[in-house]
Amino acid sequence: MTEQPPTAEYRIEDLAHLSGATVRTIRAYQDRGLLPRPERRGRANVYGETHLARLRQIADLLDRGYTLASIKELLAAWDAGLDLGGVLGLVAEIDGPWTDEEASRISRPDLDAAFGGTSDEEAIAEAVELGVLERIPGKDDEYLVPSPQELAVAAELHSAGVPLLAISGHLRELRGQVEHIASRFLDFTTEHVFQPFLDHPPTDAEAAEAAALVRRLRPLAQQTIDAELARAMRTLATRYLRHHLNEALPAEAEPSTKAGAAAVAETEVQAKAEAVAEAVAAAPGPVTDPRTATDPAVVPEAVLLPAEAVQAVRALVGAENAAAFIAAAAHREVQARAMDTLAAGRGAAASGWARQAASTGGSGATSAVDAAADADTHTEH
């Protein structure tokens, strides 16, 4: 009868030497449930080959980029008897980088030069806390930059006059909003895509299928955010620019200047009036302006209108004509305001006459909201 070789036994110091881990790390793994507890013999703790194999397994997974939390889940699946081939592939897809951007390093002199040549310890501490910079052990004059693009954006903002602490404060706010969006996207995909894989331990084939889905869906969140951010910036930047330009016009400008400004305002707002159909479509009930279907130059833009006003217009002219009615009323208002501006250059008397004519004549100064209110009155009576 062949005798079985004796099972190897190690003290924690011997286990640390053989595995390459420190005694402190081994105890931390035990506390986190990654490593089984040793066998207690009298006053000594005894470790075996199982512990050594597990420590080498953890070290291998760490080298492959897995986090300790992911490793704990993988080892639990392994202990449950599951094939880790597909599970490892799935975790690799999830734990892998979600961007093609590669980290870089920057020296302290280069960092100071990128931000105006001055050293700001408080701003650097903020950047380290936010993860924009990471300290490198043993090197006080060099930092790891996880996202060079993010650091470059901060440098550009600072060169444009934005204080460093204002940039870090804005990043904190932005990060919270982006994390909310990411959470919503994960909830959405979990509910509609990954739920079948989550109600039971996945088989190797199911884990491989889920990993393939992660690869397909990985870029969708960023693509969606890029497209929606571009749309929002285009809309809001145009609105902000017009608002501030209008405020910047002198109150007592020359008549020719006012006339030019009025012409520009009329042209711009007239284009907006042509797209009022989009705003009506956003209100309760289907209403469309037939011009948006026939004129390719008309670019629809969503504009919020009071629902009661839209309903009143529909009651007056019918749902099929509501959009065209509101657009026409807005166009008339623009023309009336342009006439007022032009008349203002003729003197106070002429300006007063123009305003009186606009207010009493009705047809020239009736706004979309006034028309809606009139329609509401007709409806009531």
Supply the pLDDT for residue 275. Answer: 45
Which amino acid does the sequence have at 154? A
Of 223, 218, 221, residue with least CA distance to 93: 218
When the pLDDT of each residue in the chain is averaged and rounded to a whole number, the result is: 74
User: Which range, 142-151, 233-242, 280-289, is most confident?
Assistant: 142-151
pLDDT tens, 113-166?
Answer: 999 998 899 999 999 999 999 999 888 899 999 999 999 999 999 999 999 999
Q: Convert 44-80 to b/e letters by CB count within 10 Å (16 or more is b).
A: eebbeeebbebbebbeebeeeebeeebbbebbebeee
Q: In terms of Cα–Cα distance, which of 192, 199, 206, 223 is closest to 98?
A: 223
Instruction: Give the pLDDT score at 186.
Output: 85
CA dist., res. 55 & res. 57, Å (int): 5
What is residue 120's DSSP assignment?
-
User: Is a pLDDT exceeding 60 seen at residue 347?
Assistant: no
Which of the four pLDDT bands, split at 50, 70 and 90, describes residue 353?
very low
Lowest mean pLDDT among 178-182, 199-203, 367-371: 367-371
Q: For residue 303, is pLDDT > 50?
A: yes
Query: Per-residue pLDDT averaged across 8-19, rounded?
Result: 89
Write out pLDDT tens, residues 46-76.
998 889 888 988 888 888 777 888 788 778 7
| Predicted structure pTM score | 0.47
Look up residue 127 and give its two tokens: 């950047």
When pLDDT is averaged across residues 292-296 and rounded to a whole number, the result is 48
Contact 126, 168 (CB under 8 A): yes
Q: What's the pLDDT at 53?
A: 86
- pLDDT computed for residue 241 by the predictor: 80
Q: Is the pLDDT of residue 268 over 80?
A: no
Q: Is the pLDDT of residue 81 over 90?
A: no
Q: What is the pLDDT of residue 270?
A: 46
What DSSP character marks residue 193? I
DSSP state of 32: T
Tokens read off for 49: 């080959």
How remote is the C-alpha of 312 from its chain's centroid?
38
- Please list, in sequence order, all residues whose beta carbon lies within 8 angstroms of the beta carbon of residue 279, skipping any fewer than 6 positions away: 301, 302, 303, 304, 305, 326
Distance between CA 304 and CA 79 in Å, rounded? Answer: 58
pLDDT at 57: 84
Q: What are the φ/ψ torsions at residue 302 (nearest 5 degrees)?
A: -70, 125
Question: Distances from the Cα of 316 to the Cαs of 331, 332, 372, in angstroms?
Answer: 19, 18, 9
Q: Which of 197, 221, 199 is nearest to 89 (CA)?
A: 197
Looking at residue 85, what is its pLDDT?
61
pLDDT at residue 355 greater than cutoff 50: no
Band the pLDDT of 336: cuts 50, 70, 90: low
Q: Quick one: how far is CA 163 from the chain centroid?
A: 23
- DSSP letter, residue 147: -
> Tokens in use for 72?
């704990």
Closest CA to 133 of 146, 123, 120: 146
Residue 8: pLDDT band by 50, 70, 90 thresholds?
confident
CB of 108 within 8 A of CB of 142? yes
Beta bridge pairs of residue 124: none
Q: What's the pLDDT at 262?
A: 46
